[in-house]
Amino acid sequence: MLRTRAGAGRRNRQTVSMTPEPEIECIDCGGRCYLTTHAREDGRWYPGDIVTYKCRDCLDRWDLVMPDVEEFPGDDL
Ligand SMILES: [Zn+2]
């Protein structure tokens, strides 16, 4: 249930510190995928950043896109 809300003028515009999970579950084999992407020099992540995970079991690679901050659940009214 992902909806894209482009350009909506919401008041919550402050930067939320986003950090990708250090590990995710492999979509294929259920093994552990570890993060292989490093943050920028300032250690921050921004919406649209690509983070890459590699599965240590099946060696598959997964590219995830950091979500838009405005997609946080809970302020949907
Ligand atoms: Zn795997």
More confident position, 69 or 61: 61
Residue 29: the pLDDT is 97
Report how far ligand 1's centroid is from the alpha carbon of 43 (Å).
Answer: 27
For residue 61, the CA-to-ligand 1 centroid distance in Å is 8
| 19 CA to centre of ligand 1 in angstroms | 22
Q: pLDDT confidence of 46, banded at 50, 70, 90?
A: confident
Distance (angstroms) between ligand 1 centre and the Cα of 25 equals 8
Three-class DSSP category at 59: coil
Q: Which residues contact 44 (CB under 8 A, 6 or more apart)?
A: 15, 17, 18
Report CA torsion sign: 30, 65, 16, 46.
positive
On the 0-12 / 13-18 / 19+ scale of CB atoms within 10 A, 53 is buried
- What DSSP state is assigned to residue 54? E
Could you state, in order of their start, the residue ranges of all structural domains in the chain?
3-71
Confidence of residue 44 (pLDDT cuts 50, 70, 90): confident
